[in-house]
């Protein structure tokens, strides 16, 4: 559907967050995903425009299935947006698909849930190829224990103990739909799906589960931390390089929902949460 502002478009993108200071555009000279994406889209449109994402990511965090929307009166077919934008983007970010959508769509507010993936590279020797794509842990991790411990986080809870001190959300309440931990070779992968996430919530959960996996904490500890609602009891915040924005669900927009589900990437294990 078009309006006086033009056609509404939705796009899926992936990026290696290693070279970015996060999603959100900042002051001039600070490299962000939003900055380079809007510059590329504006070049194709031949006018300035804005891109709104499904979920902002921090510095160093990657994305396999980020979703954005933008609006433009420029008469461009989807292929022109996709190829034209990718030719103008740097190598560490690109669009995967672009589709027209009704103007009542919003990348953030139309989302019913979001999925994140956290990847541990678990072997005695460090990794050269995965050094900015996973969190290296040389102590053996018990993925089965991590998975069992994580199940206490499912449901609607006050996640005060799992959010950053600087988190600006007006409420700590979040509903975790599913969480799993599995091992595939040297990789231990945590997948989590929720209605929304607090600042550093996934990385703090990963840090707590890492302690369980190493045997430094009991399987009951993640639940104890949750009930305590005290961030100072929550252990370390896992590093950004292991975190991926994995996918978004839009059941009210079936065509977009099919495109924006978490993807299977050859480098990483496939979705572990049923129904993704």
Q: CB-based contacts of 94: which residues, under 8 Å, 6+ apart?
A: 13, 14, 15, 86
How deeply is 134 buried, as exposed, middle or buried, from its count of CB atoms within 10 A (0-12, 13-18, 19+)? Answer: buried
Select which of 4, 58, 91, 92 is catalytic: 58
The torsion angles phi and psi of 116, rounded to 5 degrees, stand at: -125, 155
Query: Is 191 part of the annotated catalytic residue set?
Result: no
Task: Give kind and range of the element (H or E) at residue 255.
Answer: helix 254-260
138 is in an annotated binding site: no
Q: In 10 A of CB 21, how many CB atoms?
A: 16
Q: How many CB atoms lie within 10 A of CB 63?
A: 25
Residues facing residue 191 across a β-bridge = 117, 180
Rounded-to-integer distance, Cα 206 and Cα 243, Å: 9
Helix-, strand-, coil-residue percentages of the chain, each rounded to 5: 30, 30, 45
* 3-state secondary structure string across 45-74: HCCCCCCEECCCCCCCCEEEEEEEEEEECC
Residue 56 neighbours by CB distance under 10 Å: 16
- The secondary structure of residue 166, as a DSSP letter, is T
Which residues sit in the known binding site for substrate? 116
| Annotation: binding site | 116
The set of catalytic residues is 58
């Amino acid at each position: 559907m078009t309006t006086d502002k033009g056609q509404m478009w939705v796009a899926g993108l992936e990026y290696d967050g290693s070279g970015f200071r996060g999603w959100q555009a900042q002051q001039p000279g600070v490299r962000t995903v939003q900055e380079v994406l809007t510059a590329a889209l504006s070049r194709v449109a031949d006018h300035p425009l804005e891109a709104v994402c499904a979920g902002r990511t921090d510095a160093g965090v990657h994305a396999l299935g980020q979703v954005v929307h933008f609006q433009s009166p420029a008469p461009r077919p989807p292929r022109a947006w996709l190829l034209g934008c990718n030719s103008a983007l740097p190598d560490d970010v690109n669009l995967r698909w672009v589709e027209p959508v009704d103007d009542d769509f919003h990348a953030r507010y139309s989302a019913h849930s979001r999925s994140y993936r956290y990847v541990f590279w678990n072997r005695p020797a460090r990794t050269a190829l995965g050094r900015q794509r996973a969190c290296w842990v040389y102590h053996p991790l018990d993925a089965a224990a991590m998975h069992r411990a994580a199940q206490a986080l499912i449901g609607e809870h006050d996640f005060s103990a799992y959010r950053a001190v600087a988190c600006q959300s007006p409420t700590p309440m979040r509903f975790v739909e599913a969480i799993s931990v599995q091992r595939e070779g040297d990789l231990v992968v945590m997948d989590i799906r929720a209605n929304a996430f607090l600042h550093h919530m996934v990385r703090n959960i990963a840090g707590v589960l890492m302690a369980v996996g190493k045997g430094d904490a009991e399987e009951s500890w993640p639940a104890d931390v949750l009930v305590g609602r005290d961030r100072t009891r929550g252990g370390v915040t896992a590093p950004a390089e292991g975190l991926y924005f994995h996918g978004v669900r839009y059941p009210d927009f079936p065509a977009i929902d099919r495109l924006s589900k978490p993807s299977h990437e050859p480098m990483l294990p496939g979705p572990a949460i049923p129904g993704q």
